[in-house]
Protein backbone atom coordinates (compact mmCIF):
# COMPACT_ATOMS: atom_id res chain seq x y z
CA UNK A 1 0.00 0.00 0.00
CA UNK A 2 1.25 3.50 -0.86
CA UNK A 3 0.72 5.24 2.48
CA UNK A 4 2.11 8.51 1.10
CA UNK A 5 -0.97 8.73 -1.13
CA UNK A 6 -3.52 8.22 1.65
CA UNK A 7 -5.74 11.28 2.13
CA UNK A 8 -7.23 10.58 5.54
CA UNK A 9 -5.47 11.15 8.88
CA UNK A 10 -7.71 8.68 10.71
CA UNK A 11 -6.90 5.87 8.28
CA UNK A 12 -3.20 6.64 8.52
CA UNK A 13 -3.36 6.68 12.31
CA UNK A 14 -5.15 3.33 12.41
CA UNK A 15 -2.52 1.86 10.10
CA UNK A 16 0.26 3.38 12.19
CA UNK A 17 -1.08 1.91 15.45
CA UNK A 18 -0.71 -1.58 14.01
CA UNK A 19 3.04 -1.19 13.53
CA UNK A 20 4.19 1.75 15.69
CA UNK A 21 3.65 1.87 19.49
CA UNK A 22 0.77 4.28 20.07
CA UNK A 23 0.81 5.04 16.35
CA UNK A 24 3.50 7.70 16.82
CA UNK A 25 7.29 7.93 16.95
CA UNK A 26 7.31 10.47 19.78
CA UNK A 27 4.64 10.35 22.52
CA UNK A 28 3.35 13.93 22.57
CA UNK A 29 2.27 13.55 18.93
CA UNK A 30 -0.45 11.12 20.03
CA UNK A 31 -2.67 13.96 21.37
CA UNK A 32 -3.12 12.06 24.65
CA UNK A 33 -2.79 15.37 26.54
CA UNK A 34 -5.74 16.93 24.73
CA UNK A 35 -7.79 13.96 23.54
CA UNK A 36 -8.74 13.09 20.02
CA UNK A 37 -6.41 11.87 17.29
CA UNK A 38 -3.42 13.49 15.58
CA UNK A 39 -3.54 14.87 12.07
CA UNK A 40 -0.97 13.84 9.47
CA UNK A 41 0.97 16.40 7.45
CA UNK A 42 1.88 16.08 3.78
CA UNK A 43 3.81 19.35 3.42
CA UNK A 44 4.80 22.58 5.13
CA UNK A 45 5.86 26.00 3.91
CA UNK A 46 6.51 29.19 5.84
CA UNK A 47 4.36 29.19 8.97
CA UNK A 48 1.77 26.81 7.53
CA UNK A 49 1.23 23.08 7.58
CA UNK A 50 -0.90 21.29 5.02
CA UNK A 51 -2.59 18.12 6.24
CA UNK A 52 -3.14 15.03 4.11
CA UNK A 53 -6.77 16.17 3.80
CA UNK A 54 -5.58 19.48 2.31
CA UNK A 55 -6.34 21.72 5.33
CA UNK A 56 -3.98 24.61 5.98
CA UNK A 57 -2.96 25.34 9.57
CA UNK A 58 -1.00 28.29 10.95
CA UNK A 59 1.74 26.52 12.88
CA UNK A 60 3.10 27.52 16.30
CA UNK A 61 4.99 24.28 16.94
CA UNK A 62 7.62 24.72 14.23
CA UNK A 63 8.91 21.15 14.43
CA UNK A 64 9.26 21.81 18.20
CA UNK A 65 11.73 24.60 17.61
CA UNK A 66 14.00 24.07 14.58
CA UNK A 67 11.82 25.91 12.03
CA UNK A 68 12.96 29.36 13.13
CA UNK A 69 12.84 30.66 9.52
CA UNK A 70 9.58 28.83 8.92
CA UNK A 71 9.21 25.55 7.09
CA UNK A 72 11.10 24.82 3.86
CA UNK A 73 13.01 28.11 3.94
CA UNK A 74 14.62 28.47 0.53
CA UNK A 75 18.23 29.01 1.73
CA UNK A 76 17.98 25.81 3.78
CA UNK A 77 16.35 23.76 1.03
CA UNK A 78 18.93 24.92 -1.49
CA UNK A 79 21.81 24.09 0.86
CA UNK A 80 20.47 20.56 1.39
CA UNK A 81 19.90 20.11 -2.33
CA UNK A 82 23.49 21.08 -3.13
CA UNK A 83 24.97 19.00 -0.31
CA UNK A 84 22.98 15.94 -1.36
CA UNK A 85 24.60 16.02 -4.79
CA UNK A 86 27.87 15.14 -3.10
CA UNK A 87 26.46 12.25 -1.09
CA UNK A 88 24.22 11.72 1.92
CA UNK A 89 26.75 10.40 4.42
CA UNK A 90 30.42 9.47 4.41
CA UNK A 91 31.41 8.05 7.79
CA UNK A 92 34.54 10.20 7.51
CA UNK A 93 35.18 13.87 8.36
CA UNK A 94 33.70 16.47 6.00
CA UNK A 95 34.24 20.23 5.60
CA UNK A 96 30.71 21.17 6.76
CA UNK A 97 31.32 19.89 10.29
CA UNK A 98 34.48 22.00 10.64
CA UNK A 99 32.61 25.11 9.54
CA UNK A 100 29.75 24.29 11.92
CA UNK A 101 32.19 23.89 14.81
CA UNK A 102 33.79 27.25 14.02
CA UNK A 103 30.35 28.88 13.74
CA UNK A 104 29.12 27.51 17.07
CA UNK A 105 32.29 28.56 18.89
CA UNK A 106 32.03 32.04 17.39
CA UNK A 107 28.38 32.49 18.30
CA UNK A 108 28.47 30.88 21.77
CA UNK A 109 31.52 32.24 23.62
CA UNK A 110 31.37 29.64 26.42
CA UNK A 111 32.02 26.90 23.84
CA UNK A 112 35.73 26.47 23.12
CA UNK A 113 35.36 23.02 21.56
CA UNK A 114 32.28 21.20 20.32
CA UNK A 115 31.28 17.75 19.14
CA UNK A 116 28.36 17.01 16.84
CA UNK A 117 25.81 14.28 17.60
CA UNK A 118 22.40 13.35 16.19
CA UNK A 119 19.87 14.45 18.82
CA UNK A 120 19.38 16.52 21.94
CA UNK A 121 19.18 13.31 23.96
CA UNK A 122 22.64 12.30 22.75
CA UNK A 123 23.93 15.75 23.63
CA UNK A 124 22.68 15.73 27.24
CA UNK A 125 23.66 12.10 27.76
CA UNK A 126 27.17 12.89 26.58
CA UNK A 127 27.39 15.98 28.79
CA UNK A 128 26.52 13.90 31.87
CA UNK A 129 29.03 11.17 31.02
CA UNK A 130 31.71 13.78 30.33
CA UNK A 131 31.02 15.64 33.59
CA UNK A 132 31.30 12.38 35.52
CA UNK A 133 34.51 11.46 33.74
CA UNK A 134 35.99 14.91 34.33
CA UNK A 135 35.13 15.15 38.03
CA UNK A 136 35.36 11.49 39.04
CA UNK A 137 32.00 11.86 40.77
CA UNK A 138 28.69 10.11 40.11
CA UNK A 139 25.76 12.20 41.34
CA UNK A 140 23.99 14.91 39.37
CA UNK A 141 21.42 17.58 40.20
CA UNK A 142 18.51 18.26 37.89
CA UNK A 143 15.28 20.23 38.32
CA UNK A 144 11.64 19.17 38.36
CA UNK A 145 9.97 19.71 35.01
CA UNK A 146 13.22 20.13 33.08
CA UNK A 147 13.27 17.57 30.27
CA UNK A 148 16.65 16.57 28.89
CA UNK A 149 15.70 13.81 26.50
CA UNK A 150 15.09 10.16 27.25
CA UNK A 151 18.35 9.54 29.12
CA UNK A 152 17.89 7.04 31.97
CA UNK A 153 19.42 9.19 34.69
CA UNK A 154 17.50 12.26 33.52
CA UNK A 155 13.99 10.76 33.33
CA UNK A 156 13.35 11.64 36.95
CA UNK A 157 10.53 14.16 37.45
CA UNK A 158 10.97 15.14 33.83
CA UNK A 159 8.92 17.48 31.65
CA UNK A 160 7.61 17.31 28.07
CA UNK A 161 5.67 14.16 27.16
CA UNK A 162 6.48 12.58 30.53
CA UNK A 163 4.23 15.19 32.15
CA UNK A 164 1.63 15.16 29.41
CA UNK A 165 1.04 11.48 29.95
CA UNK A 166 1.09 11.58 33.72
CA UNK A 167 4.33 9.62 34.19
CA UNK A 168 7.12 11.93 35.37
CA UNK A 169 9.32 8.86 35.87
CA UNK A 170 9.79 6.18 33.25
CA UNK A 171 9.58 2.44 33.62
CA UNK A 172 12.86 0.81 32.73
CA UNK A 173 15.01 3.27 34.71
CA UNK A 174 16.83 1.29 37.43
CA UNK A 175 16.25 2.54 40.96
CA UNK A 176 19.98 2.37 41.58
CA UNK A 177 20.60 4.79 38.70
CA UNK A 178 17.78 7.12 39.75
CA UNK A 179 19.38 7.38 43.19
CA UNK A 180 22.33 9.13 41.55
CA UNK A 181 20.02 11.94 40.42
CA UNK A 182 19.09 14.60 42.97
CA UNK A 183 15.92 16.33 41.77
CA UNK A 184 15.04 19.78 43.10
CA UNK A 185 12.44 22.52 42.49
CA UNK A 186 13.46 25.05 39.86
CA UNK A 187 14.18 28.57 41.15
CA UNK A 188 14.94 27.26 44.67
CA UNK A 189 18.56 28.15 45.37
CA UNK A 190 18.45 27.22 49.09
CA UNK A 191 17.41 23.69 48.06
CA UNK A 192 20.49 23.47 45.84
CA UNK A 193 22.73 24.65 48.67
CA UNK A 194 21.19 22.02 50.95
CA UNK A 195 21.75 19.32 48.33
CA UNK A 196 25.45 20.17 48.12
CA UNK A 197 25.72 20.06 51.91
CA UNK A 198 24.02 16.65 52.02
CA UNK A 199 26.17 15.25 49.19
CA UNK A 200 29.49 16.90 49.89
CA UNK A 201 32.10 16.15 47.24
CA UNK A 202 29.73 13.86 45.31
CA UNK A 203 27.99 16.15 42.78
CA UNK A 204 29.51 15.85 39.30
CA UNK A 205 27.14 18.24 37.55
CA UNK A 206 24.08 20.42 37.66
CA UNK A 207 22.05 20.18 34.47
CA UNK A 208 19.13 22.47 33.70
CA UNK A 209 17.23 24.26 31.00
CA UNK A 210 18.12 27.88 31.82
CA UNK A 211 14.64 28.66 30.47
CA UNK A 212 12.51 25.57 31.17
CA UNK A 213 10.32 24.94 28.13
CA UNK A 214 9.09 21.41 28.70
CA UNK A 215 6.59 22.19 31.44
CA UNK A 216 5.17 25.09 29.50
CA UNK A 217 7.56 28.03 29.79
CA UNK A 218 8.83 29.74 32.90
CA UNK A 219 11.83 31.95 33.58
CA UNK A 220 14.68 31.90 36.08
CA UNK A 221 14.21 34.31 38.97
CA UNK A 222 16.84 37.06 39.36
CA UNK A 223 19.99 35.61 40.89
CA UNK A 224 19.07 31.94 40.43
CA UNK A 225 21.36 31.16 37.49
CA UNK A 226 24.22 33.21 38.96
CA UNK A 227 23.75 31.38 42.25
CA UNK A 228 24.11 28.05 40.46
CA UNK A 229 27.23 29.29 38.68
CA UNK A 230 28.77 30.39 41.99
CA UNK A 231 27.95 27.11 43.73
CA UNK A 232 29.39 25.02 40.89
CA UNK A 233 32.59 27.07 40.87
CA UNK A 234 32.94 26.69 44.63
CA UNK A 235 32.23 22.95 44.65
CA UNK A 236 34.18 21.95 41.54
CA UNK A 237 30.92 20.86 39.88
CA UNK A 238 30.24 21.09 36.14
CA UNK A 239 27.40 23.46 35.22
CA UNK A 240 25.53 22.16 32.17
CA UNK A 241 23.02 24.31 30.29
CA UNK A 242 20.60 22.31 28.18
CA UNK A 243 20.00 24.84 25.42
CA UNK A 244 18.71 22.36 22.86
CA UNK A 245 15.65 24.59 22.43
CA UNK A 246 17.04 28.01 23.30
CA UNK A 247 20.49 28.38 21.76
CA UNK A 248 20.39 30.27 18.44
CA UNK A 249 16.65 30.84 19.05
CA UNK A 250 16.44 33.30 21.94
CA UNK A 251 19.66 34.99 20.84
CA UNK A 252 22.81 34.17 18.91
CA UNK A 253 24.33 32.77 22.09
CA UNK A 254 21.08 31.53 23.58
CA UNK A 255 19.84 32.02 27.15
CA UNK A 256 23.39 32.23 28.46
CA UNK A 257 23.89 35.36 26.37
CA UNK A 258 20.66 36.91 27.63
CA UNK A 259 21.31 36.16 31.31
CA UNK A 260 25.09 36.66 31.07
CA UNK A 261 25.98 33.33 32.66
CA UNK A 262 28.84 31.11 31.47
CA UNK A 263 28.17 27.37 31.82
CA UNK A 264 30.92 24.78 31.62
CA UNK A 265 29.10 22.65 29.05
CA UNK A 266 26.17 23.37 26.72
CA UNK A 267 23.87 20.87 25.01
CA UNK A 268 22.57 22.11 21.66
CA UNK A 269 20.25 21.01 18.86
CA UNK A 270 17.12 22.06 16.96
CA UNK A 271 18.08 25.23 15.03
CA UNK A 272 21.59 24.00 14.09
CA UNK A 273 20.10 21.23 11.95
CA UNK A 274 17.66 23.34 9.96
CA UNK A 275 15.01 20.64 10.45
CA UNK A 276 17.24 17.58 10.05
CA UNK A 277 18.23 15.34 12.98
CA UNK A 278 21.06 16.98 14.93
CA UNK A 279 22.59 17.66 18.30
CA UNK A 280 25.85 19.02 19.66
CA UNK A 281 27.59 19.58 22.96
CA UNK A 282 30.52 21.78 23.79
CA UNK A 283 32.22 23.90 26.39
CA UNK A 284 35.51 24.44 28.14
CA UNK A 285 38.41 22.93 26.23
CA UNK A 286 39.89 21.24 29.32
CA UNK A 287 36.63 19.32 29.79
CA UNK A 288 36.03 18.56 26.12
CA UNK A 289 39.59 17.26 25.78
CA UNK A 290 38.62 14.34 28.04
CA UNK A 291 36.63 12.91 25.13
CA UNK A 292 37.93 9.99 23.09
CA UNK A 293 40.19 9.79 21.12
CA UNK A 294 42.17 12.33 23.18
CA UNK A 295 40.79 11.27 26.55
CA UNK A 296 39.15 8.37 28.38
CA UNK A 297 35.47 9.36 28.01
CA UNK A 298 34.01 7.44 25.09
CA UNK A 299 31.41 8.90 22.74
CA UNK A 300 30.79 8.08 19.09
CA UNK A 301 28.19 8.22 16.31
CA UNK A 302 28.20 6.93 12.73
CA UNK A 303 26.07 9.81 11.43
CA UNK A 304 27.47 12.58 13.66
CA UNK A 305 28.34 15.65 11.59
CA UNK A 306 26.14 14.41 8.75
CA UNK A 307 26.82 16.67 5.73
CA UNK A 308 23.14 17.33 4.98
CA UNK A 309 22.34 18.33 8.55
CA UNK A 310 25.45 20.52 8.77
CA UNK A 311 24.70 22.23 5.46
CA UNK A 312 21.10 22.89 6.49
CA UNK A 313 22.08 24.28 9.88
CA UNK A 314 24.82 26.51 8.47
CA UNK A 315 22.43 27.95 5.90
CA UNK A 316 19.86 28.68 8.60
CA UNK A 317 22.38 30.38 10.89
CA UNK A 318 23.78 32.48 8.04
CA UNK A 319 20.30 33.62 7.08
CA UNK A 320 19.43 34.50 10.68
CA UNK A 321 22.54 36.66 10.89
CA UNK A 322 21.91 38.23 7.47
CA UNK A 323 18.38 39.39 8.34
CA UNK A 324 19.08 40.03 12.05
CA UNK A 325 16.49 37.38 12.74
CA UNK A 326 16.61 37.72 16.52
CA UNK A 327 15.54 41.36 16.43
CA UNK A 328 12.78 40.42 13.99
CA UNK A 329 11.61 37.60 16.26
CA UNK A 330 11.58 39.82 19.33
CA UNK A 331 9.35 42.29 17.50
CA UNK A 332 7.05 39.49 16.34
CA UNK A 333 6.97 38.05 19.84
CA UNK A 334 6.06 41.41 21.39
CA UNK A 335 3.22 41.87 18.89
CA UNK A 336 1.91 38.37 19.57
CA UNK A 337 2.18 38.89 23.33
CA UNK A 338 0.23 42.15 23.25
CA UNK A 339 -2.58 40.59 21.23
CA UNK A 340 -2.71 37.48 23.41
CA UNK A 341 -2.71 39.44 26.67
CA UNK A 342 -5.59 41.56 25.37
CA UNK A 343 -7.56 38.39 24.64
CA UNK A 344 -6.73 37.02 28.10
CA UNK A 345 -7.83 40.13 29.99
CA UNK A 346 -10.03 39.42 33.04
CA UNK A 347 -9.65 35.66 32.67
CA UNK A 348 -7.69 33.28 34.94
CA UNK A 349 -4.82 32.86 32.49
CA UNK A 350 -1.08 33.46 32.54
CA UNK A 351 0.88 34.27 29.38
CA UNK A 352 4.66 33.97 29.55
CA UNK A 353 7.12 34.74 26.76
CA UNK A 354 10.79 35.22 26.10
CA UNK A 355 11.85 36.07 22.56
CA UNK A 356 10.10 33.75 20.12
CA UNK A 357 8.98 31.20 22.74
CA UNK A 358 5.75 31.38 24.73
CA UNK A 359 3.17 29.53 26.80
CA UNK A 360 -0.42 30.28 27.76
CA UNK A 361 -1.18 28.65 31.10
CA UNK A 362 -4.82 28.04 31.97
CA UNK A 363 -4.44 29.33 35.52
CA UNK A 364 -3.73 32.52 37.37
CA UNK A 365 -0.04 33.15 37.72
CA UNK A 366 2.71 33.52 38.27
CA UNK A 367 4.26 30.25 37.12
CA UNK A 368 7.83 29.87 38.38
CA UNK A 369 8.29 26.12 38.76
CA UNK A 370 6.71 22.76 38.05
CA UNK A 371 4.30 22.67 41.00
CA UNK A 372 2.72 25.94 39.87
CA UNK A 373 2.57 24.80 36.24
CA UNK A 374 0.75 21.62 37.27
CA UNK A 375 -2.14 23.68 38.64
CA UNK A 376 -3.26 24.51 35.10
CA UNK A 377 -6.76 23.57 33.97
CA UNK A 378 -5.95 20.91 31.40
CA UNK A 379 -9.57 20.26 30.48
CA UNK A 380 -10.08 23.88 29.50
CA UNK A 381 -6.78 23.90 27.63
CA UNK A 382 -7.86 20.83 25.64
CA UNK A 383 -11.14 22.48 24.67
CA UNK A 384 -9.26 25.64 23.66
CA UNK A 385 -6.71 23.62 21.67
CA UNK A 386 -9.31 21.76 19.63
CA UNK A 387 -11.29 24.93 18.97
CA UNK A 388 -8.20 26.69 17.64
CA UNK A 389 -7.28 23.66 15.55
CA UNK A 390 -10.77 23.61 14.03
CA UNK A 391 -10.29 27.29 13.18
CA UNK A 392 -6.95 26.64 11.46
CA UNK A 393 -4.42 27.39 14.21
CA UNK A 394 -2.11 24.69 15.54
CA UNK A 395 -0.71 25.15 19.03
CA UNK A 396 1.25 22.42 20.83
CA UNK A 397 -1.09 19.56 21.83
CA UNK A 398 -0.18 19.80 25.51
CA UNK A 399 -0.47 22.39 28.24
CA UNK A 400 3.11 21.56 29.12
CA UNK A 401 4.87 22.49 25.90
CA UNK A 402 6.20 25.84 24.71
CA UNK A 403 5.03 27.48 21.51
CA UNK A 404 7.39 28.81 18.84
CA UNK A 405 7.24 31.80 16.52
CA UNK A 406 9.22 32.06 13.29
CA UNK A 407 10.35 34.82 10.97
CA UNK A 408 7.67 33.51 8.57
CA UNK A 409 4.80 34.61 10.84
CA UNK A 410 3.50 37.88 9.36
CA UNK A 411 1.49 40.66 11.03
CA UNK A 412 -1.54 39.45 9.07
CA UNK A 413 -1.02 35.91 10.44
CA UNK A 414 -0.86 37.26 13.98
CA UNK A 415 -4.08 39.25 13.49
CA UNK A 416 -5.83 36.11 12.28
CA UNK A 417 -4.54 34.11 15.23
CA UNK A 418 -5.52 36.81 17.74
CA UNK A 419 -9.11 36.60 16.54
CA UNK A 420 -9.06 32.80 16.80
CA UNK A 421 -7.62 32.97 20.33
CA UNK A 422 -10.24 35.50 21.44
CA UNK A 423 -13.07 33.42 19.96
CA UNK A 424 -11.96 30.20 21.61
CA UNK A 425 -11.17 31.71 24.98
CA UNK A 426 -14.74 33.05 24.96
CA UNK A 427 -15.94 29.50 24.25
CA UNK A 428 -14.16 27.92 27.23
CA UNK A 429 -14.85 30.61 29.86
List the catalytic residues: 147, 242, 270
Residue 184, SS3 per DSSP: strand
Q: Within 10 Å of residue 18's Cβ, how many Cβ atoms?
A: 7
SS3 74: helix
Buried residues in 412-427 as b, exposed as e (16+ CB within 10 A): ebbeebbebbbebbee
269, 280 Cβ separation under 8 angstroms: yes
DSSP state of 297: B
Helix (H, G, I), strand (E, B) or coil at 165: coil
Report the distance separating Cα 259 and Cα 3, nearest Å: 47
Sign of the four-CA dihedral 96, 151, 33, 214: negative
Does residue 359 contact residue 402 with C-beta atoms inside 8 Å? Answer: yes
The torsion of the CA quartet 359, 362, 366, 372, rounded to 10 degrees, works out to -100
35 within 8 A of 23, measured Cβ to Cβ? no
* Per-position DSSP letters for 273-287, written without gaps between them: GBTBS-EEEEE-HHH
- CA dist 197 and 206 (Å) reads 14
Supply the DSSP string of 197-226, one letter for each residue.
Answer: HHTTTTEEEEEE-SS--SSS---PPTTHHH
Other beta carbons within 10 angstroms of residue 345's beta carbon come to 9
Q: Is the dihedral of CA 284, 255, 224, 217 positive or negative?
A: negative
State how far the Cα of 236 lies from the Cα of 225, in Å rounded to an integer. 16
> Which helix (H) or strand (E) element contains residue 56?
strand 56-59
Helix axes 307-322, 74-85, angle to 10 degrees: 150
Amino acid sequence: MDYAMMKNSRELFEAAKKRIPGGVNSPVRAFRGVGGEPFFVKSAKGCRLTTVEGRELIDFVGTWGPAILGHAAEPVIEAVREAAKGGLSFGTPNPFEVEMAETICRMVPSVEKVRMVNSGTEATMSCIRLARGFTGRNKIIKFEGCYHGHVDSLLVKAGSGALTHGHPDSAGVPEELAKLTVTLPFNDLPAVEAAFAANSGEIAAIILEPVPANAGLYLPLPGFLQGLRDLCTREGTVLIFDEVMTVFRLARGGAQEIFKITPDLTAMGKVIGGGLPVGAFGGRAEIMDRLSPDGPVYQAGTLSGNPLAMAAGLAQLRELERIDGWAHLEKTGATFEAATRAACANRPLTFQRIGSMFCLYFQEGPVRHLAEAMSSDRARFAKFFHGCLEDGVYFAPSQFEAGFLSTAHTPADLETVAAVVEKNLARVF
